[in-house]
Amino acid sequence: MEYKGITKQINEGYTDVPTTAYKTDSIQKTGEFKNWTDRAPAIGNGSLGYECGIDSNFTLQTGIQKGKEDISEFDSYLRDQNAKNRPAFIVEANYTARNGGKWNFTMAHSNEQAENIDGWIMAYNRTDISGNVNSIDNPIMTMDDIPEPLTVCSAEEVMTDFDEVSDWSVNDQSKNVDYSQVTLLLGQNLVSKQSLASPTSIVNFGSLNLINIVSDLSQGNLNPNDYSDNIDVDAAGSYAYFLDRRGGSENLGYEHQELAGVDAKDGLVLFNLQSRNSV
């Protein structure tokens, strides 16, 4: 592994992970799994007594419904794709509670015959929704590939069940994920479990790194072709959830990022990374 930079502090940790978790035919699962609801992962509940940090009245499903009601072209697109048996679904999305709460999400259909397709990129807050058609890369999966993904709230619970993640993502007062500081990201996952069997693959994909991939996901710029030379897209985990926190300033002298991920197919935590860069 090649590393270029200056580090002032390194914290090491190790957790045993069953080797069967990396087998494609493994039936081991952790969490709550449900069918796609209105072309998006179900919000779910998590385990009994768990309080989800996502408002059940402000979800991807309510955003899709409002989009259908307010934007006729968006509604027509969803109907047309259903009629063609190529239903559109949430390819990527991110949520923050800042400024009253906001979802950004991309809906698109998969077409193996095309390199690029037209999808809808949407911005949804508690009062309004807007969107536009844009050319995006063909999704690497369909809903049929993961018929019962991990629910949103269960993904949150699975990740924060680890102290190493809850320490930076959960509010000490409310005991919920603090989405005023943390961003939820979900969508196509380009990190394969086969590659995760080698710890160095988490840190470096050739000239790319995991931070770049998640940054693209959060900005709606995820382009699988950008990474095709570095990872096996066909063997990727297909869909995942991430918790992402960033901070720092020139006054502090550094910027930091904490990032955790969980696979939507089986609920197994993929990683918990923390980085600090001088500014």
Q: How does DSSP assign 43-71, residue by residue? A: ----STT---SS-TTSSHHHHHHHHHHH-
User: pLDDT means per 10 residues in the chain (279 residues)?
Assistant: 43 39 53 97 93 96 98 98 96 96 96 91 98 92 93 96 94 94 87 45 42 56 50 59 80 75 86 70
Domain spans of the chain? 19-278
pLDDT at 23: 36
Q: What is the edge-to-edge ordering of all strands in the sheet holding 182-189?
A: 129-137, 116-125, 102-108, 89-96, 182-189, 238-249, 254-263, 269-278
The Cα–Cα gap between 41 and 166 comes to: 23
